[in-house]
Amino acid sequence: MDNLDEFDINILKELEKDGRMAFSAIAANLKISNTMVHQRINRLVEQGVISGIKPIIQEKKIGYDWASFTGITLNKDSDSDRIIEELKNIPEITECYYVTGSFTLYIKIIAKNHEHMRSILYEKIDSIPGIAKTDSIIELGCAFKRNIIL
C-alpha cells in the first residue's frame, strides 16, 4: 500500500466527521473535484484502509448498561482459531484480540445487567471446550473512543 497523501488524509478527516457525507460535499469542502474524491475513496476501500461505513451504536442507549474486558486463557493456544469461531457466535462479544502476557485472547462483552453478564461468562464462554480460565474487568464508562488521529 502506498502512503497516504494530504488529499487522502483530508478526505478521511471529512469522513470521520460524518461517514455518510456526500462525495460532492467532501469535494466542495476540500476544493477538489467530485471525481477525485470518488476515486480516492474507492482506492482506500480497495487497499483496506477503509473497511466500511456503519453506525456507531451507543449500547447504553439501547439497554446494555454493563461491559467487561475479559482475558481468556486457553488450554492450548493452537485451539485459538476454533475458539474464536465459537466466540463469534456470541453476539454480546463485540471485540476480540490476540494479546501477549497472561492471556491468549482479550474480548469485550456488552451486557444488559449483571445477571446477563454472568450468563454470558458462565453459561456461554465457560462452556467452550479449550478455555481454561477467564478474568474480567468491569467497564465503568468510556472516557473517549476514537480512530487514530491523522
Q: What is the pLDDT of residues 30-80, one digit of tens each?
A: 999 999 999 999 999 999 999 887 888 889 999 999 999 999 999 999 999
pLDDT at residue 2 in the model: 60
pLDDT score of 132 more than 90: yes
Nearest to 70 by CA among 137, 144, 149: 137
Grid coordinates representing 117 are 453478564
Spatial strand order of the sheet with 131-138 comes to 93-98, 105-111, 66-74, 131-138
Average pLDDT over residues 82-96: 98
Q: How many CB atoms lie within 10 A of CB 48?
A: 8
Average pLDDT over residues 106-134: 97
Grid coordinates representing 66 are 454493563
pLDDT at residue 62 in the model: 95
pLDDT score of 1 more than 80: no
- Report how far residue 150's alpha carbon sits from residue 16's, in angstroms, rounded to the nearest whole number: 10
pTM for this model (two decimals): 0.82
Phi-psi region of 107 (alpha: psi -120 to 50; beta: other; left: phi over 0): beta
Q: What percent of the chain has pLDDT over 90?
A: 82
